[in-house]
Amino acid sequence: MELATKDLLRLATIGSVDDGKSTLIGRLLVDTRQLFDDQLDAVVSASEKRGVGDLDLSFITDGLRAEREQGITIDVAYRYATTPTRKFIIADCPGHVQYTRNMATGASTADLALVVLDVASGLKEQTRRHLCIAALLGVRSIIVAVNKMDTVSWSEISFQSVVDQIETVSRELGFTSKVLIPVSALLGDNVVESSARTPWYVGPTVLEALEASEAGSWEVARGARLPVQWVLRQPGGGRTYAGMVSGEAFHVGDRVTLLPANVETTIKAINFGGESRLEAVVGLAADLDLADELDAGRGDLIASAPLPTITKEMEATICWFGDKPLSVNGQRLRLKHTTKSTPVRVRDIKGVIDIASLTITDASSLSTNEIGLATLITSDALVVDDYREDRVTGSFVLVDEVTNATVAAGMVGHASFL
Amino acid sequence: MSTTLHTPHSTDHLDVLESHALFILREVVAECERPVLLFSGGKDSAVLLHLAAKAFAPQQLPFPVLHIDTGQNFAEVLDFRDRTVDAVGARLIVAKVQDSINEGKVVDPGPLGSRNRLQTVTLLDAITENKFDAAFGGARRDEDKARAKERILSFRDAFGQWDPRQQRPELWQLYQGKVNPGEHVRAFPLSDWTELDVWQYIGREKMDLPSIYFAHERDVVLRDGMWLAVGEFVEPGPKEEVVRQTVRFRTVGDANCTGAVLSRADTIESIIDEVAIANVSERGATRGDDKFSETAMEDRKREGYF
């Protein structure tokens, strides 16, 4: 499959609080000269004012007042970096358990996770939680920065013991690509420049690993999909159906099916921004002209074979962010899947993921920041793929009907490690 | 519709950013009752309006365009506003800061003071009066450290306030803009664009822009380290020397607090070259309003600023 995001790599930092995620991103941005002089000056003067030394690198992404006061990250910061071959969109995520919803926000659009952990303390439960969420969200590639190597005198043995821990969990979670790098974000070793203090390490720096990464592809693509967002009226009376392509590309002349109506037709023309195209690649916000006059609108799906499933009942993996627990007969919820919203209820909670053992244990409800499996019943029929086959038609959010707050991230089906 | 058939081209980062923006525009229009597009006449809002026209082509824009008029605009920018809105065929609403001053809602800062912060009151009043539940803005996350923290669909309470500690989770591209009466969302389709992306896109799309973005000769005075254009809103002080310089503007704000940069870049190509090697950010180079405190933008955003 041709990648729509070939030279745009989205990555998220994950890991526990105080292991140095923001400092690493700060170091990466400073050492690749992505920061403007006035931005760097502002960080220097803010560091001075708060009495945290000459240059607190974490202040580069921790931009909120409350974050700088406490020296923590509360919400995701997005930063951008460009190298000769790539544009990077970096989501610097918070480490605290209470901000897991924000970490999931940052990781949900990431192709790659940059895992940061403290070599002295190793793999903490919170790091395991983040790795588990990243794996559930479909991140296949990780770059692991084993940080604070300066505090263990650049010891290869200390590095190796963290490597062993990561290898084990990474195998369990099914990451297909991983690079482990001994770094000191504070001092800059092996971030952009290779360090002379780790002569036993011959691998890439963090920057080199990011530039070389082939993350961004979903190996499994099952058919082209276009959830209809909006119907565009064409001059002369025709209609085209606008939406973003996922899965695989559409071509003029392709046989497609309108779902859930289950009506077959052919793609007569493909437009983009008022101009004709022969092909609509993955990620293109195209509009499709169909050969037959159909009753189609927002919430419908245009798909090529193999077709997705039409269902009102599904088993799903749920990351729950609500303040009150999720339970059967609990709060009134609405489900948003692609461009369709429908009332939903929980039929059954099958269990909660135990982060330490990565197994399912019995539970009748999900507390804030817990991840579990549940069976959901929807009022309207949904047209879904398993999340591992299509990240767009396999994902949904749950919305509180009273406050309109987004209270859960959901994925159709469950990961193979569960 | 064009009759020439474009051969499929490989997608680069501009294609990805463009399609993402079109998707956001359509999602918000579909989910919200009364959207509006905030238009200042600057390059970012010009790109936003261009994308909006593409998202709904060949139909008309399904929402009006709102300009918060501080009364201290560059004439070239007002000119551009009118011709662009005309070209797109959009309905323009102008809300004036002067009206908020006349109604006693805000205090006139005088000819030397900045009306930047006052715009928030005018903006929130316009949103309330027109019952808008979604407002598109051209803000980018690379502009400022508080903006770097903001969601693409950013919730505002009944007072128009942003609470950075209570942002809605925003998973995948499942943007959800439902609000209760009186609340609204701000939607930022250009969130992931950088200044360089914007210029490259303007070049690729051969877009029209206000002439002040391109190098030209102008009488300027040096005030607080910024070159200000001498004119209706900037009168030289007794000790200030008026000099004729070749300048351009990197951002477009109020004429009395937006600095020009010395530049000979008079084409989009030469501007792209200049932006690519710049060592000062666009706001740092040209905006007096952001220099007052460490968290100037966060504070203004909390109150309901753009």
Same domain for A284 and A321, yes or no, is: no
Q: What is the mean pLDDT of residues A95-111?
A: 90
pLDDT for A1 beyond 80: no
- Tokens 């989009």 found at: B268
Cβ neighbours of A246 in B, within 8 Å: none
Per DSSP, which regions of A175-329 are E strands?
177-182, 225-227, 230-233, 239-244, 250-251, 255-259, 263-272, 275-277, 279-280, 285-290, 301-303, 309-320, 326-327
Query: Is A218 a domain residue?
Result: no
Same domain for B70 and B164, yes or no, is: yes
Same domain for B91 and B119, yes or no, is: yes
For B282, nearest residue in chain A (alpha carbons):
A36
Average per-residue pLDDT in chain A?
91
Query: Is A219 a domain residue?
Result: no
- Residues 6 or more apart whose CB falls under 8 angstroms from that of B241 comprise B221, B222
* Residue A34 domain boundaries: 8-212
CB contact under 8 A, B5 and A2: no
Same domain for B160 and B245, yes or no, is: no
**What size, in residues, is chain A?**
418
User: Rounded to an integer, what distance in angstroms lies between the CA atom of residue A408 and that of residue A364?
Assistant: 17
Q: Say what the pLDDT of residue B7 is.
A: 37
Q: Say what the pLDDT of residue A159 is.
A: 97
Write down which residue in A258, A284, A303 finishes a domain: A303
Same domain for A256 and A143, yes or no, is: no
User: Rounded to an integer, what distance in angstroms lies between the CA atom of residue B141 and that of residue A77?
Assistant: 9
Percentage, residues of chain A above pLDDT 70 = 97
Closest to B158 measured CA to CA, from B130, B186, B182: B182
**What size, in residues, is chain B?**
306
Same domain for B138 and B158, yes or no, is: yes
ipTM of the complex: 0.91
User: Rounded to an integer, what distance in angstroms lies between the CA atom of residue A276 and that of residue A287?
Assistant: 10
Q: Say what the pLDDT of residue A187 is.
A: 94
Helices (H) and strands (E) in chain A, counts: 7, 25
Our count of domains for chain A comes to 3
Q: What is the mean pLDDT of residues A241-262?
A: 96
Query: Is A418 a domain residue?
Result: no
Same domain for A185 and A229, yes or no, is: no
pLDDT band at A219 (very low <50, low <70, confident <90, very high): low
CA dihedral A340, A342, A346, A349 (to 10 degrees): 0
Angle at the Cα of A28 from the Cα atoms of A23 and A34, rounded to 5 degrees: 120
Among the partner residues A2, A5, A75, nearest to B149 by beta-carbon distance: A75
User: Rounded to an integer, what distance in angstroms lies between the CA atom of residue A115 and that of residue A16?
Assistant: 9
First to last CA, chain A: 28
- pTM equals 0.91
Per-residue model confidence as pLDDT tens digits over A163-184: 999 999 999 999 989 999 999 9
User: Rounded to an integer, what distance in angstroms lies between the CA atom of residue B140 and that of residue B146?
Assistant: 10
Cβ neighbours of A102 in B, within 8 Å: 167, 169
Per-residue model confidence as pLDDT tens digits over A118-147: 999 999 999 999 999 999 998 999 999 999
- Residues 6 or more apart whose CB falls under 8 angstroms from that of B239 comprise none
Cβ neighbours of B12 in A, within 8 Å: 6-7
CB contact under 8 A, B165 and A105: no
Same domain for B17 and B102, yes or no, is: yes
Q: Which residues of B60-95 are buried (b: 16+ CB within 10 A; e: fewer)?
A: ebebbbbbbbbebbbebbeebbeebbeebebeebeb
Per-residue model confidence as pLDDT tens digits over A348-379: 999 999 988 888 999 999 999 999 999 999 99
Average pLDDT by consecutive 10-residue portion of chain B (306 residues)?
Answer: 40 90 97 96 96 94 95 92 94 91 85 80 93 96 90 93 90 92 95 93 94 94 88 88 93 85 92 85 68 74 83
* Residue B116 domain boundaries: 13-198+295-303
Closest to A186 measured CA to CA, from A56, A12, A50, A33: A56
pLDDT band at A72 (very low <50, low <70, confident <90, very high): confident
Same domain for A189 and A234, yes or no, is: no
Our count of domains for chain B comes to 2
For A395, nearest residue in chain B (alpha carbons):
B172
Closest to A273 measured CA to CA, from A240, A237, A297: A240
Q: Say what the pLDDT of residue B100 is.
A: 87
User: Rounded to an integer, what distance in angstroms lies between the CA atom of residue B145 and that of residue A64?
Assistant: 7
Residue A351: strand pairing partners: A373
B23 and A244 in contact (C-beta within 8 Å)?
Answer: yes
Among the partner residues B141, B174, B281, nearest to A39 by beta-carbon distance: B281
pLDDT for A38 beyond 50: yes
Same domain for A299 and A314, yes or no, is: no
- Tokens 């569960």 found at: A418
Same domain for A293 and A404, yes or no, is: no
Query: Is A1 a domain residue?
Result: no
Interface of B with A in 1-40 (CB under 8 A): 1-8, 10-13, 15-20, 22-23, 26-27, 29-30
Q: What is the mean pLDDT of residues A34-53?
A: 83
Looking at residue B32, its amino acid is C
Q: Report the CATH number at residue A332.
A: 2.40.30.10
